[in-house]
Structure 1
């Protein structure tokens, strides 16, 4: 663990300037996040390009799963590159991770689609996402450790907060390029081929970022330790096989990083997917609204990093988690009302329910792409509603009951596949879908959000508040993690809990949340994932997480 208070700065040991250290480290990280988040922004288009062999709901969940695949391997990247960083050095390690990330992103833009090469396309996509995840697993710990080890003890939160802006700035940069290309080539061309351009142009960003980072010198804290022969020869063993350090790793994970990770991905990515998929706001409008919110709220990363140098890291992070747990549900309801008021009003005035025997109902997710969801009346009903993005409740009926859909006061019987077969079943399901669509339209359910009816200032205000939660939990987290662990195993020790919390608990959130929505029919049900995770972090952190802001890194 880092030693106690001190005001000494390692900077007297270094010739390079503080701005160069911060800018070079931050710009490289911005580029890596840009690469990583392009995929998330284009999930709907990637569904059509790479997962067109399955039904629409399953395809979208698969696209999110491929997005999450990059997060799945981040802890392994943390172990591999964390060890290298603690043995070889900080600078060279994150040069390697950047090169892997950049080349993988460039190649995504060149991949053939499912229509061209079949299942080989999504397999290749997942392989590249795995490489991106491995690279990102080594990047963050290196950048955060490098900046922190250059910072004065009483400005460590401020200095590392610039690293914390990089994820949002990377997302913002990706949004700008996606919006620009969409505007330039048009929606039809963008969906067909224009989506590749943001991936391909990243090769130029890679060259610039590598050149900038090559101007840096090694961290003075690491260099001094290396000169004294105190580097760890087995950082993985020291970090995770000894209970004293492993205990701190677990406290950092469950008492800080799990909540931070789910807040990050709920407030930025899940909000984006929720607007586009559940509220049916068009892609360009969604991207612009998110970009505006990020532009407004991103400076708060610096504010909360600075504030953590004054009042401490722990309470800012835990307050952000507690606020998220308490307000996510009402905020997403408010987001629905502002973004698609017609849909929100229809859900209140004419709620939809499916009356069926639950034993005859399947989860609307098809891993092998073979299920047409037409073998039971319940499946037929829920399949239509899931594809249409309609929220519904489930009403239990006795065995043998043919399912019904209730829309407000209207009742629509579902096709009974036990007595209607073959071509007649196909025609009957089509007619049933048309009847349900007519009934939904009659009570005010819109097919898409009306751009003229979107309360854009309110949507932006809600999104800004959600991003402010991110800045509270994320702004101080790098300084906290760096301060928790000793220099000789710092890169390794801090990287693993960070990437488990962000890669697994946070990165899998969109996939898990949308699967929860598909299972229940309730578009808000997926929010219970981040609510419970934030509550657990707030409680564990309150009891076990130490305050670290007065610690020195010289130890």
Structure 2
């Protein structure tokens, strides 16, 4: 009996609409990432506009909530919109997430500053930011599922790989628009009102994307499922309340998404953080070098998506994790030699030690940047970690005030725990200045000399780091889609992806800094992504099943 005679939608056939499916899904996802990245790119200006007038306690709460929107709430968006996607359909749900993202971004562009409406300004800003986080949590799963369910057999990896480019494209689009507006209106006007333009432009991008996406039909797999009455009435319960599927969710998280996330964040964000904050490379130069590496590596997202249709998703993703874990230490060491050779020479010629009472030293994990570390040990270690200086830890008797040994010099730290905040700030500034002088005299550069940066070598190293990203990220959408049945696919695949990227990946910079400050080794923070990547390799080898030939319409 034919599908039509049986009352089912006909089998999907590849036609010219497939290009529109990829284009519409990718354009919409690029715009959502563009909206999401604007906040981070303009954080300093937004803080001055909306947070400058609040008291310290209130500011801490707002900073925590803004951070939560960026990372912590994304899995909740995956749950909420994943459920709706399995009930309403993929197309309808990611239309909703796109509208929420676009409108909330547009509202930020119109929002009066704290000086005009008081505490209502940061409250509304944080609310819009939370909506953005929730919407982003729902967008990716919808777009990936929708494209995969349209893809013909043997091409799911290739089709969905275009979705994988969108995060990088959204970041670059936000930077280009911001740079264009800065150049057009000037720095003073940009800080005053011009920063609003990139937010307001999002409404035009939203309109174009909606116009394109409204032309699409629902995915054939979802249509067939509904026609056959096989949909889930309780996708959350079926996804996470039943052990067989919950086990698949955990395998997807630990055996694929967690490793993919830390490799992605290390290659694109931590590498930039390391160049700017640790190696003290000029920010404009660092961004340019990373952008070049991204542009060179971007075609490999599609290449590895295509290749995964031939050899499988699992071997490519796990090989990317394994290569990253095996080579991160030499690659980042090479980055130091190429980007700041004077720093590398100083580390060898004038080693640094921190002599302190171990009980005076805390784990400096500060995900929102609002904690104050004011013991003598923490003051010394945080300053050295931020300066990109490797140091040894030497235990001192209880009650000893920490001191820093730089070659033959001694820089005594101070205990700021009992000082009022203004006095602590003044003492800290004076101590930082003394430390900077001592480091300079020992040959440690205050910043990298741009003329000495080996640009081709830095780009080559960055390219390798991003190449690993393309290996793990290019096939991941297809791999996750193939793990779950149609009736709960949107819900089940969205959660491990966003826990992996929002939590395992999102906490990488702060976790790495805490490890660096604790150990004194500027490379020790790499143990976090290496450990997670190796965990993914082990879990993936043992428990992940290859799905490139799976029937996702079942």
Instruction: Name the structure 1 match of 2:278.
Output: 278
Pair 1:257 & 2:257 matched = yes
Cα 1:427/1:94, change in 2 over 3 Å: closer
Would the aligned equivalents of 1:67 and 1:129 in 2 still touch at CA under 8 Å? no
Would the aligned equivalents of 1:150 and 1:220 in 2 still touch at CA under 8 Å? yes
Instruction: Name the structure 2 match of 1:71.
Output: 71
Would the aligned equivalents of 1:51 and 1:114 in 2 still touch at CA under 8 Å? yes
Pair 1:513 & 2:512 matched = yes
Q: Secondary structure at the match of 2:392?
A: strand
- Equivalent positions of 1:317-356 (< 5 A) are 317-356=317-356
Cα offset, 1:159, TM superposition:
0.8
Cα 1:112/1:441, change in 2 over 3 Å: farther
Cα 1:77/1:384, change in 2 over 3 Å: closer
Q: Secondary structure at the match of 1:149?
A: helix
Cα offset, 1:110, TM superposition:
4.7
Q: Distance in 1 between matches of 2:421 and 2:168?
A: 52
- Equivalent positions of 1:339-488 (< 5 A) are 339-362=339-362, 376-382=375-381, 384-385=383-384, 388=387, 390-415=389-414, 432-488=431-487
Q: Distance in 1 between matches of 2:136 and 2:510?
A: 19
Cα offset, 1:538, TM superposition:
0.3
Q: Distance in 2 between matches of 1:279 and 1:350?
A: 17
Pair 1:26 & 2:26 matched = yes
Q: Secondary structure at the match of 1:217?
A: coil
Cα offset, 1:449, TM superposition:
2.3
Instruction: Name the structure 2 match of 1:81.
Output: 81
Instruction: Name the structure 1 match of 2:291.
Output: 291
Instruction: Name the structure 1 match of 2:146.
Output: 146
Deviates more, 1:430-439 or 1:179-188: 179-188
Would the aligned equivalents of 1:179 and 1:287 in 2 still touch at CA under 8 Å? no
Cα 1:357/1:116, change in 2 over 3 Å: farther
Instruction: Name the structure 2 match of 1:3.
Output: none
Cα offset, 1:226, TM superposition:
1.5
Cα offset, 1:212, TM superposition:
1.3
Query: TM-score, normalising length from structure 2?
Result: 0.87
Structure having greater relative contact order (Cα 8 Å, sep ≥ 6): 1
Q: C-alpha deviations, 1:268-318, integer Å up to 9, x for none? A: 112222222222223322222222111110110110011011111110000
Would the aligned equivalents of 2:381 and 2:518 in 1 still touch at CA under 8 Å? no
Q: Distance in 2 between matches of 1:483 and 1:186?
A: 49
Cα offset, 1:480, TM superposition:
1.1
Deviates more, 1:40-49 or 1:28-37: 40-49
Query: TM-score, normalising length from structure 1?
Result: 0.87
Cα offset, 1:344, TM superposition:
2.8
Q: Distance in 2 between matches of 1:543 and 1:413?
A: 52
Q: Distance in 1 between matches of 2:11 and 2:387?
A: 58
Pair 1:215 & 2:244 matched = no
Q: C-alpha deviations, 1:443-486, integer Å up to 9, x for none? A: 22222222222222222111111111111011111111111111
Cα offset, 1:217, TM superposition:
0.9
Cα offset, 1:178, TM superposition:
3.3
Q: C-alpha deviations, 1:499-520, integer Å up to 9, x for none? A: 1111221122223323434454
Cα 1:277/1:426, change in 2 over 3 Å: closer
Instruction: Name the structure 1 match of 2:37.
Output: 37
Instruction: Name the structure 1 match of 2:168.
Output: 168
Q: C-alpha deviations, 1:420-447, integer Å up to 9, x for none? A: 9999998876654443222211222222
Mark the runs of 5 or more structure 1 residues left unpaired by the alignment.
1-8
Q: C-alpha deviations, 1:230-259, integer Å up to 9, x for none? A: 222111222222222222111111111110
Instruction: Name the structure 1 match of 2:522.
Output: 523
Would the aligned equivalents of 2:335 and 2:458 in 1 still touch at CA under 8 Å? yes
Q: Secondary structure at the match of 2:150?
A: coil
Instruction: Name the structure 2 match of 1:229.
Output: 229
Cα 1:381/1:485, change in 2 over 3 Å: closer
- Equivalent positions of 1:85-104 (< 5 A) are 85-104=85-104
Cα 1:147/1:331, change in 2 over 3 Å: same
Considering only aligned residues, what root-mean-square deviation do their CA atoms show, in Å? 3.5
Cα offset, 1:403, TM superposition:
2.4
Q: Distance in 1 between matches of 2:227 and 2:425?
A: 75
